[in-house]
Amino acid sequence: MSPAIDVARVRRDTPACESVIHFNNAGAALMPDPVAHAVLAHLDLERQRGGYEAEAAAQPALEDFYDAFAALLGCARDEIAYAESATRAWDMAVYALPLAPGDRVLTHDSDYASNHIALLQLARRLGIELDLVPSDAAGQIDVLALERMIGPRTRAITLTHVPTQNGLVNPAEAVGRVARKHGLLYVLDACQSVGQLPVDVRRIGCHVLSGTGRKFLRGPRGTGFLYVERALLQTLEPPFVDMRAATATGDGRYRLRTDARRFEGWESFVAGRLGLRAAVRYLLALGTDAVAARISALAAELRHALAALPGVTVHDRGVERSGIVTFTVGGEPPTETAARLRARGANVSVTASEAAPLDARLRRLATAVRSSVHYYNTEAEVAAFATLVAAR
Ligand SMILES: *Cc1c(COP(=O)(O)O)cnc(C)c1O
């Protein structure tokens, strides 16, 4: 276990903590100063020297991006690619999977909307079939049902580790054991889990994992990352290739890079890459165990405080819970609750059924308030937040 978080220090690194209760970490967390400085300093260098010259000067840090993610996810640096978002990272790998007409892909109702829409397009384009694995009594993916649903044409499973729309954590490792046993490709959307939970790709057993910079990693917006297992990535033809991904050999052919950077594009937001690298280094210095322990404790306290309020319903399910706490206030539309809280200095977001179209419970509810805590939040903020929710 890493030592407990020095809350005073991380709050000093996050000046906005003084003026706002930021419970919108599942939307975009507050960047700590070292992250913001990495971005701003590079933009300034571009201004002073020119974009190419600044990039050349930043080469060591840009290379460290891959080492930092390898350390965070327990993989090799050549299995990591930079992406502009989690969605594009996921797309680059999933649109490259070797799927043929009649192949079946297992999904779950916690799937993020963008992933689901992409699968619908692939179903139409390639003639693949999607099979929806049911949830167990706790609302997480039913691993026994998953195993029973595997047939001769089942090729892949895609899962969202921590759904965007409720407080559960899907049993990613148990799904990984089933995927490996049956030789299925396993794609994990770790957009809400990397940065709040320890995520080790070898332990989970996924072949592909995608995530974003701005959420629990506390990186800049417009950044993301992709992991693809080495043996698999060398067989995948990315849906788009350019001169970063490949080299034209002059004989009417091109040669793809052998590492995961075959999924990258030539041009990118260099300052953003540097900011995301700084965010990963900041997290590694704190320790993912300490981060997870504090988020889990704060989220439990928040659920407890909200559930004790008259008229407030907490909607989270799951055996293991995440830092995302969803609730509604009786007789008040979630958009109004969120606006009322924002006006009094507390940031939350509203989760809508469109973000997770297969989630039947959320469809009945249509929307819910989504509050999400990070390690830099405090017990005092949880108490103050509950008071604000109650003060209609
Ligand atoms: C936010 C989110 C995404 C999309 O991330 P982007 O960086 O906006 O593309 C994907 N999956 C889940 C579970 C998310 O919460």
Range name among 72-86, 153-167, 281-295, 358-372 with the lowest pLDDT average: 358-372
pTM value is 0.97
Same domain, 380 and 254: no
Check if 86 has its Cβ closer than 6 Å to any atom of ligand 1: yes
Q: Do 25 and 74 reside in the same domain of the chain? A: no
* CB 150 less than 6 A from any atom of ligand 1: no
User: Are both 27 and 41 inside the same structural domain?
Assistant: no
Confidence of residue 92 (pLDDT cuts 50, 70, 90): very high
Domain boundary among 285, 301, 318: 285
pLDDT of residue 1: 59
Last residue of a domain, which of 285, 316, 348? 285
Q: Residue 122 sits in a domain of what CATH number? A: 3.40.640.10
Residue 180 lies in a domain: yes
Which residue, among 324, 272, 300, 383, has the nearest Cα to 24 in the 3D structure?
Answer: 324
pLDDT in tens, 23-81: 999 999 999 999 999 999 999 999 999 999 999 999 999 999 999 999 999 999 999 99
Structural domains of the chain, count? 2
213 CB near ligand 1 (under 6 Å): no
Q: Does residue 166 have its Cβ closer than 6 Å to ligand 1?
A: no
Residue 43 counted as domain residue: yes
Q: 213 with 87: CB under 8 angstroms?
A: no
Residue 56 sits in the same domain as residue 119: yes
* Residue 269 shares a structural domain with residue 316: no
- 66 and 123 in a common domain: yes
Token pair in block for residue 129: 């079939």
Instruction: Please report, for the domain that includes residue 341, its CATH number.
Output: 3.90.1150.10
213 and 292 assigned to the same domain: no
* Strands 254-256 and 246-248, sheet pairing: antiparallel
Does 164 contact ligand 1 (Cβ within 6 A)? Answer: yes
Q: pLDDT per residue over 178-211, tens digit each?
A: 999 999 999 999 999 999 999 999 999 999 999 9
Residue 12 and residue 65 share a domain:
no
What's the angle, vertex CA 87, arms to CA 201 and CA 35, rounded to 5? 75
| Residue 330 and residue 266 in one domain | no
Residue 188 Cα to ligand 1 midpoint, Å, equals: 12
Q: Which of these three, 285, 310, 327, is where a domain ends?
A: 285
Measure CA of the first residue to CA of the last residue in the chain; give whole Å.
42
| Dist. CA 212 → ligand 1 center (Å) | 7
Q: Are residues 239 and 313 in the same domain?
A: no
19 and 71 share one domain: no
Tell me whether residue 1 is in a domain: no
Ligand 1 atom at minimum distance from 87 CA: 9
Provide the residue range defining the domain that includes 345.
7-31+287-390
Please, which contacts does 56-64 make with residues 24 or more away whose CB atoms are closer than 8 Å?
Answer: 58/270, 58/274, 61/274, 61/277, 62/270, 62/273, 62/274, 62/277, 64/277, 64/281
